[in-house]
């Protein structure tokens, strides 16, 4: 990502993307309903993990119909 102005990314003018991520990471972790560890997995495996974790989350909050779909 090179063009922060057209992207609409809110950051300090001299702040790198890595610095912005480091600043925001605690908030991402605090407010995430689910997280998955994707290191060493391909895209399909990560998607399957996200789907499974999402379904478990929906069950925990009672937002699932009889077939398990939302």
Q: Of all helices (H) and strands (E), which one includes residue 5? A: helix 4-7
The pLDDT assigned to 65 comes to 62
pLDDT value of position 22: 96
**So what's the pLDDT on residue 47?**
97
Every domain of the chain and the residues it spans: 37-70
Q: What is the pLDDT of residues 2-35, one digit of tens each?
A: 666 676 778 888 988 899 999 999 999 999 999 9
Whether residue 58 contacts residue 64, with contact meaning beta carbons closer than 8 Å, is answered with: yes
Whole-number pLDDT of residue 2: 64
Q: Has residue 51 got a pLDDT over 80?
A: yes
Q: What is the DSSP string of 20-63?
A: HHHHHHHHHHHH-S-----TT--HHHHHHHHHHHHHHHHHHTT-
- Given pLDDT bands bounded at 50, 70 and 90, which one contains residue 66? low
């Amino acid at each position: 990502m090179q063009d922060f102005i057209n992207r609409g990314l809110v950051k300090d003018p001299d702040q790198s993307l890595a610095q912005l991520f480091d600043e925001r990471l605690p908030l991402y972790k605090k407010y995430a309903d689910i997280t998955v560890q994707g290191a060493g997995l391909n895209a399909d495996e990560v998607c399957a993990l996200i789907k499974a974790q999402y379904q478990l989350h929906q069950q925990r909050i009672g937002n699932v119909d009889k077939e398990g779909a939302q």
